[in-house]
C-alpha cells in the first residue's frame, strides 16, 4: 500500500476529522450564503457595467466556494518526506551493514 493511500485511510477513518469537515462545510455554506445575498442585493441596485462586474464577482465566488467545499470534504494528501529514526547503542557504520 502506498503511503498516501495509508494516510488517506487513516484520516477517513477518524470520526473527529469527519465531524470537523462536516461542521466546516456547514459553517462555510452559511457564511457564503450571506455573502452571496449581499452581492445579489448590490447587483439589483446597480446598472450597466457596474452590475455586470458584480455579477461576474458573484459567479466567480460561487465557483470558488464549490471548489473549497470539495477540498474540505475530500482533501488531497501528499507525502513529501518519509523518515526513520533508529536509536541504538551500536555505531552507525555497523547498523548500515545490518540494514
The string of pLDDT tens digits covering residues 45-67 is 999 999 999 999 999 999 999 99
What's the sign of the alpha-carbon dihedral 15, 2, 80, 28? Answer: negative
pLDDT exceeds cutoff 80 at 92? no
Domain ranges of the chain: 3-98
Residue 32, Cβ density class (10 Å: 0-12 exposed, 13-18 middle, ≥19 buried): middle
Three cell numbers written together for 24: 466546516
Q: What is the distance between the alpha carbons of residues 63 and 4, in angstroms, rounded to a whole number?
A: 28
Q: What pTM, to 2 d.p., does this model score?
A: 0.66
- Say what the pLDDT of residue 1 is: 66
Amino acid at each position: 500500500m502506498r503511503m498516501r493511500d495509508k494516510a488517506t485511510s487513516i484520516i477517513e477513518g477518524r470520526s473527529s476529522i469527519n465531524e470537523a469537515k462536516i461542521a466546516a462545510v456547514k459553517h462555510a455554506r452559511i457564511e457564503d450564503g450571506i455573502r452571496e445575498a449581499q452581492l445579489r442585493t448590490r447587483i439589483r441596485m446597480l446598472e450597466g457595467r457596474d452590475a455586470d462586474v458584480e455579477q461576474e464577482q458573484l459567479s466567480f465566488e460561487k465557483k470558488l466556494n464549490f471548489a473549497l467545499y470539495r477540498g474540505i470534504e475530500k482533501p488531497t494528501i501528499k507525502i513529501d518526506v518519509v523518515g526513520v529514526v533508529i536509536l541504538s547503542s551500536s555505531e552507525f557504520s555497523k547498523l548500515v551493514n545490518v540494514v
